[in-house]
Structure 1
Amino acid sequence: MKTLALSAKEHLYLRIAQSIERQIDTGVLKIGDKLPSIRMVCREHGVSMSTATQAYFELERKALIESRPQSGYYVRSCPRKRLGVPATSKPVNRHGNEGQPEDIITRIYQDISRKDLTLLSLSVPSDELLPIAKLNKGMVQAMRELPGSGTAYEDIQGNDKLRRDIARWSFTWGGNLEENDIVTTAGSMNAISFCLMALTERGDTVAVESPVYFGILQLAQSLGLKVLELPTNACTGVEIDALKKALERNQVKVCLLISNFNNPLGSRMPDSHKQEVVRLMERHNVPLIEDDIYGDVYFGDSRPLCCKSFDESGIVLWCGSVSKTLAPGYRVGWVAPGKFKEEVIRRKIFHSISATTLTQEVIANFLENGRYENHLRRLRQTLHTSCLQYIRAIAEYFPEGTKVSHPDGGFVLWVELDKKADTIALYEKAVRHKISFAPGRIFTLQQQFNNCMRLSYGVRWSDKLDDTLKLLGKLAHTH
């Protein structure tokens, strides 16, 4: 009965918040309008002070209203109405690739160690959002329990406990995996690397979204692969018709997609698209490497499905990691390679033998006892708040006509400035003002996205961040 009562109360405060949000969206309440007082909300809706306060807190969290001391609550903004969404990309894919500005990519990685910069360039959570103290205790526990305190090689396929936990966790997206389906790796990029090496030879073509994470492009080029960039929608991901045409022309040896909260667009493929992609892969017998590293960081009611959820033939190689949710430096990742398992294990033996024993054990223990879900719940709420605040700040401070993606998960926003803007030049100027972001040109091998940038909101929102985005917007006006 107590649980039911709490659920009803929670539903009530959300209902009040949603009612006010609709009035803001439709223009009934405009920016600067004063909202009814907490006491008035209590009288009008017959609710307690606690419920009314929770409703206003929910609206504050979404950056829709603000509290002014000694005055009350006011409508702050409705950024989704002010900012357009970037258009679907249209890569040309001329003969040969023009490459990436490698010097900028190198500098972005080097920015990690600079304590004087505000890092909007890296799609990882800041230290303050990670359960570091609990992980430290887990490390001590693992050293006590593992043979040789964790100094021995791990099983080639990976830590048994970790693989069992990953398989158990897959129920959240309909994975139906078993312990023996999983191979552990040193992070998600390591998993993708093993998959590409197992499935391709030099000169083969890999199809990817456009824009796509620059590390994937660097990896493909290092393996001597040709890259086919596909048109991609900022909301729904890769364009199915374009993928279908590429497969029908026998252009593609393997496909690599980030189906949930793509980096850098933040797009999420609808479930119907995921199912159709898998059917296309099966029909043309083309493997799909699915990078699902962001899938657990969703802002909605439930974890989105994966392409792997619809895989009945083993054609999908599902890759994941805790690098975006728990411990980037632990380098704990995995892959469920489907029918390509033996080929992937062979590449792992060639290149690493085993993954890190200690960190796999620590993560396995963390996943086992329910702490992971509790941590994720807090992380999602913090990131959702930051995302909404970033969009509000971009709407207020950036030049007229700026467009921005509206992700419902993940860590990043894709910002599109005027076509004449040069975000590499803007990056150079921003770094001099102690701000680092990722210019759009590094997310493609073609001459496109020169007027775009990726901003990470993997930090807790603060007045300092608001000032930083205000300054970046001011610099953007000059470009």
Structure 2
Amino acid sequence: MAKYEVLAHQLKEQIERGVWVENEKLPSLRKQAAQTGFSLMTVLHAYQMLESQGIVSSQERSGFLVTAKASNSSKERVQATEAVSINDFVYEVLQASRDPHMFSLGFAYPDPSLYPRQHLNKSIAAAAQQISLTSAMDNLPPGNLDLRKIIAKRYAAKGVNISPDEIIITAGALEALNLSLQACTTPGDWVVVESPVFYGTLQALQRLGLKAITVTVSPNTGLDVAALERAFKNHNVKACWLMSNFQNPVGYSLSDVQKQQVAALLDKYNVALIEDDVYAELYADKRPPLPIKHFMKEGDSMLCSSFSKSLVAGYRIGWVAAGKRALEIQKQQLMSTLATSAPIQLALVDYLSTKNYESHLKQLRKKLIARKKTITALLTDLLSDVATIHTHSGGYFLWVECRGHVDAMAIYKEALRLHITIAPGKLFSLTNEFNHCFRLNASFALNEAKRNQLLKLSLFIKSLL
């Protein structure tokens, strides 16, 4: 149990015993820290945990007040955090992944050698020949019409009805997600995010001054839908940022039933959905997964994706199917990045107009499945007595959950010494809840040297226990 959880449990028991009564102010953060010996941050997290459970409430300039006697509920799956700070650590980890001599298992993109470089280069050359003086104007927001039509037709083939008019081409999915978040929130608003969660989500909240309510995502069962509804009931939530397919970092995909449940809650509580669906093309089953947006009836939904994970990362082309927010997001894009690269949009139109993309996707999926199977088998053999390797069909991430009180930061530092990068659990959370976990990229082929690197790292992990 983390220190803040220990303190929260103690305070909860004190409230149940009447030490602190309804409407009574709890000791200030500094006073509580001095009395208990815990750090200020530990005390703050404990108070916020109690707030997320409805036991206390924060009052501006007045601290935390007891709202009611605590109930003997099971472990809460919702946490509220007013201050979000993650950017410095993300920068540190990403910088390590840039070293070409590293075995980049902490890398967020698939192995670059899996991209169809020759075909893409031909499309860039073709685009260069046809580009005109007016191309820049033709590709201003919402973006190239032919490209938007191609994207809409690909959705239609999956049974998802999206008009080209609601699609805005962006500089990667992250811009699409950030623009969507800006469109439905203002600083100080509550936003529901997953835990663990893609670090770009936490960076966006930090930059925009938003408050996070984290809802647990289990690598075995996915999003806690009951906890999601409690978050909607207890807070004035303006937006919900979710990844329903091949969730980063745990890899779990929600079932259609779970997606229907989430869609119903979003409609019921009138919460805007920002759906990150960048891994949708990397499925291993026979049929592609559907987004939550498909199951929403009248709701406010922004579906974001890109070609960065399925085709090429360096082009930085994404999009958002923004529904009723399309015009608003176009205006925001004009005031920020102005437009997405016109030559790259034209190159993608050229490439996607052929049958090469479908052929590439079939080969990509096949290789990802095989490589993921190989590295999972190796890690299971090396670490089965000290860790659980969580793997799911589709995508290319593995979530490694170490047993005991192993610190993944120690593993991260040793991995760097062995010229391996990993993504430690600290990267995906605002608390210490996942400090014993780390994410691995399973899209890379293994050779004897890389197997030996992983063997050495596994021996180090075992030594920690």
Q: Which amino acid aligns with 2:238?
A: K
**Residue type matched to 1:358 in 2?**
P
Write the deviation string for residues 165-193 of structure 1: whole angstroms up to 9, x where unpaired. Answer: 00000024321112112111000000000
Instruction: Tell me what 1:213 maps to.
Output: 198
**SS of equivalent to 1:208:** strand
Task: Name the structure, 1 or 2, with higher relative contact order (CA <8 Å, separation 6+).
Answer: 1
* SS of structure 2 residue aligned to 1:206: strand
Q: What's the CA shift string for 1:254-304, capped at 9, x where partnerless?
A: 000001000000010001111121111111111101100001001111111
**2:79 — aligned with what?**
93
Alpha-carbon deviations, 1:137-177, whole Å to 9, x = none?
11000010121496666232101111000000002432111
Normalised by the size of structure 1, how large is the TM-score? Answer: 0.78
For 1:459, the equivalent position in structure 2 comes to 444
Taking the aligned partners of 1:145 and 1:236, their CA distance within structure 2 comes to 50
Find the partner of 2:339 among 354, 357, 360.
354
Q: How does 1:419-458 map to 2 (within 5 A)?
A: 419-458=404-443
Mapped to 2, the partners of 1:198 and 1:111 lie a distance apart of 33
CA contact (8 A) 1:90 1:231 kept: no
8 A contact 2:84–2:206 mirrored in 1: no
Aligned positions of 1:98-137 closer than 5 A: 99-100=85-86, 102-137=87-122
Matches within 5 A, 1:1-400: 93=79, 96-97=82-83, 99-100=85-86, 102-148=87-133, 154-398=139-383, 400=385
Aligned-residue offset at 1:128: 1.2
The 1:296/1:97 distance shift into structure 2, 3 A limit, reads: same
Distance 1:357 1:98, change over 3 A: closer
By how many angstroms is 1:127 displaced?
A: 2.0
CA distance in 2, matches of 1:313, 1:98: 31
Deviations, residues 54-108 of structure 1 (Å, cap 9, x unaligned) = xxxxxxxxxxxxxxxxxxxxxxxxxxxxxxxxxxx965626545744x5542222
Code of the residue aligned with 1:265 in structure 2: it is V
Distance 1:92 1:316, change over 3 A: closer
CA contact 1:231–1:238 (8 Å) conserved in 2: yes
Give the whole-Å Cα distance in 2 for the aligned partners of 1:195 and 1:144. 34
Residue type at the aligned position of 2:150: D
The separation in 2 between residues aligned to 1:117 and 1:245, in whole angstroms, is 43
CA RMSD of aligned residues (A): 1.9
Question: Is 1:404 the counterpart of 2:395 in the alignment?
Answer: no
Task: Look up the equivalent residue of 1:117 and give its one-letter code.
Answer: M
Q: Residues 90 and 249 of structure 1: is their aligned pair in 2 closer, same or farther, counting only changes over 3 Å?
A: closer
Q: 8 Å contact 1:120–1:457 — kept in the other structure? A: yes
Cα 1:465–1:153 change in 2 (3 A) is farther
How far apart, CA to CA, are the structure 2 residues paired with 1:382 and 1:469? 20
**Using the alignment, how far apart are the partners of 2:333 and 2:221 within structure 1?**
33
Unmatched runs of 5 consecutive residues or more in structure 1: 1-88
Shift of 1:365: 2.0
- Local SS of the residue matching 1:478: helix
Q: Distance in 2 between matches of 1:141 and 1:195?
A: 32
- The Cα shift of 1:236 comes to 3.9
> Paired residue for 1:473?
458
Q: What per-residue deviation string (whole Å, max 9, x for no partner) do you get for residues 317-355 of structure 1?
A: 100100101111111000001111122112111112211
Asked if structure 1 preserves the Cα contact closer than 8 Å seen for 2:275 and 2:302, the reply is yes
Alignment partner, residue 45 of structure 1 = none
Aligned-residue identity in percent: 32
Cα distance change of structure 1 residues 135 and 241 upon mapping to structure 2, 3 Å threshold: same
**Closer/same/farther in 2, CA of residues 472 and 150 from structure 1, 3 Å limit:** farther
Comparing 349-358 with 260-269, which one deviates more in the overlay?
349-358
The 3-state SS of whatever aligns with 2:399 is strand
Distance 1:346 1:98 in 2: 27
Change in 2 beyond 3 A, CA 1:456/1:149: farther
Closer, same or farther: CA 170–99 of 1 in aligned 2, 3 Å: same
Report if the CA contact (8 A) 2:84-2:202 is conserved. no
Pick which of 194-203 and 232-241 moved more: 232-241
Partner SS, residue 374 of structure 1: helix
**1:328 counterpart SS class:** coil
The 3-state SS of whatever aligns with 1:318 is strand
Using the TM superposition, name which of 311-320 and 276-285 deviates more: 311-320
Residues 341/92 of structure 1: CA separation in 2 closer, same or farther (3 Å cut): closer
One-letter code of the match for 1:269?
A: L
TM-score by length of 2: 0.80
What do the CA deviations read for 1:360-389 (whole angstroms, capped 9, x no partner)?
111222222121111011111111111111
Q: Tell me, in whole angstroms, the C-alpha distance in 1 between the residues paired with 2:391 and 2:256.
A: 18
Residues 95 and 229 of structure 1: CA distance in aligned 2, closer, same or farther (over 3 Å): closer
Q: Is the 8 A contact 1:209 1:232 kept in 2?
A: yes
Secondary structure of 1:454's partner?
Answer: strand
Q: What is the aligned residue count? A: 390
Gaps spanning 5+ residues in structure 2: where?
1-74
Find the residue that maps to 2:237 and give its secondary structure. Answer: coil
Correspondence for 1:14 = none
